Chains A and B, each alone.
Chain A
């Protein structure tokens, strides 16, 4: 009997759990909740018409398959038609079922063309465009139009990889953009803090956990292209990005003989998810400003969990080969 048979269907996170005895209960519950809510949302939309080249994608915690009780409902209609062309389903039709937009940045809950998303750099690639592009690529899940979702991701990846034809090299342009996005998130965090916006402690905790997971979940497959010839890079990345970021990270820990550290890293992240899924503790984080945070037990615990996530990922990147060399070669300059 093939001994791999029993584990072949397991996700990387489940394999890491089986190897180390870590259960990741909050992550498992959040994945189940995401699947359930996706099915509920589909049912609520009924037999809405969906054009073949249109996908409705849910972003953020939906894309990470980590819905908690306080998760937002950020979505995009992504299509491969000219910008501004009418598409089905329309935004108004979706807004009747999906929660109304919460953010003031007008990034989500609208229709956007792939041809707009692949305007790289310069003025047209503003914060909203970059955020839409990279969240769609790194942490989104199709609500409607699964095939179109994959096709749109493929088109975006192809645009990134255009002219990048070297074997066994991480695609430098995509890598730079993912790093740019992560740094933008960090700088915008400080920008919001200086504007005196509320929820400093919750934003800080998320920066050190879910945003860090988003970044690492993009970075690790890109560095993994070190093992891939140029013709296979697009499919390799497309496949990797179809898994939740926590699976991509769990796989990297397993592949680099760092299961213990991986279990602690994702175990800390699991406990953070449980913390923000607790309405009282989430409300506590939402209420704390910068000056009061360090005196608060909930924030101190969230900060510790965030540091454990970061320390684990740093250990993977800097104390395991070949990642250590890849980081040195590609990540600074």
Chain B
């Protein structure tokens, strides 16, 4: 009898090649490991999780963020992962829904808590949290992300500290573009690391459109601007929230 495998394996329906990292033109990204992408930017294949994973693997098979940005995408993601696909990633995060939130908060948390054990982190926007204590079941898998200038909460160290006080096991995802949108001098990004760097689990990396409405590939200007902040984060996965820059 075959021994049960506690960890995901190296192929997904026989077509993935493990240990992929697409050659990256930018030195900053090329020098970092592990690097991965969020499936959130692959809008045309939303909810086709096998295809999304294959596309993510084409960039990197070391880290990934499976993004269920709309609540209606979450059951499909749960079903996909419940099928025990043999994923190659060393680090796997899931981005919790931020849009179309219809379920009671406790029910959404229970769904997220039922994600299988090889999901390392569940990234949550602070503005999706109404009652912080309701998120305790996610324990150390809960990772809070700093918000951009359009969101009323979760931008600054003090705002996040209030949540961490209720959720002491939660980790932190530094979204560098969000911090830069609030404070282009990058002092806020450094302040977030000063205050919550010990909790840092991953980085979201991209640039923002000029109107700040969506993530775009990291620009050369932002690469230079973000470099000192990213130098403080060499040990955590960097998740690209837009296609890798060319």
Residues of A within 8 A of B (CB): 20-22, 257-258, 260-261, 263-265, 267, 290-291, 293-297, 300-301, 304, 307-308, 311-312, 314-316, 318-320
Contacts and interface: CB of A to CB of B under 8 A. Distances in A.
Contacts, number: 66
B139 A297 contact: yes
A21 B198 contact: yes
A302 B200 CA distance: 17
Contact of B198 (A258, A264, A318): A264
A267 B198 contact: yes
Contacts of A290: 3-4, 6
B33 interface: yes
Contact of A315 (B118, B193, B234): B234
A284 B233 CA distance: 33
Contacts of A315: 234-235
Interface in B1-43: 3-4, 6-7, 31-34
A304 B120 contact: yes
A265 B235 CA distance: 8
Nearest to A300: B117
A27 B32 CA distance: 29
B243 interface: no
B140 interface: yes
Interface of B: 3-4, 6-7, 31-34, 90-91, 116-118, 120, 139-141, 193, 197-198, 200, 231-236
Contacts of A20: 197-198
Given A20-B198, A263-B197, A258 B234 contact: yes
Contacts of A307: 90-91, 120
B7 A264 contact: no
Contacts of A311: 34, 235-236
* Chief secondary structure at chain A's binding surface: helix
A260 B233 contact: yes
B7 A294 contact: yes
Give the one of A267, A304, A307 with max B CB within 10 A.
Answer: A304
A22 B198 contact: yes
B174 to A, nearest CB: 11
Given A265-B235, A304-B140, A311-B235, 4 more contacts: A260-B197, A264-B200, A301-B139, A304-B120
A122 to B, nearest CB: 35
A320 B234 CA distance: 9
A7 to B, nearest CB: 20
Nearest to A319: B234
A307 B3 CA distance: 24
Give the one of B6, B139, B231 with max A CB within 10 A.
Answer: B6
Contacts of B141: 300
B140 A260 contact: no
Nearest to A267: B198
18 contacts: A20-B198, A258-B235, A260-B232, A261-B232, A261-B234, A264-B236, A291-B3, A293-B6, A294-B6, A294-B117, A295-B117, A296-B117, A297-B139, A300-B117, A301-B139, A314-B33, A315-B234, A319-B33
Contacts of A312: 235
Nearest to A324: B31
Nearest to A313: B235
Contacts of A257: 231
Given A258-B234, A264-B235, A319 B120 contact: no
Contacts of A260: 193, 197, 200, 232-233
B120 A261 contact: no
Cβ-closest 7 pairs across A and B:
A315-B234, A315-B235, A261-B235, A312-B235, A319-B234, A294-B117, A294-B6
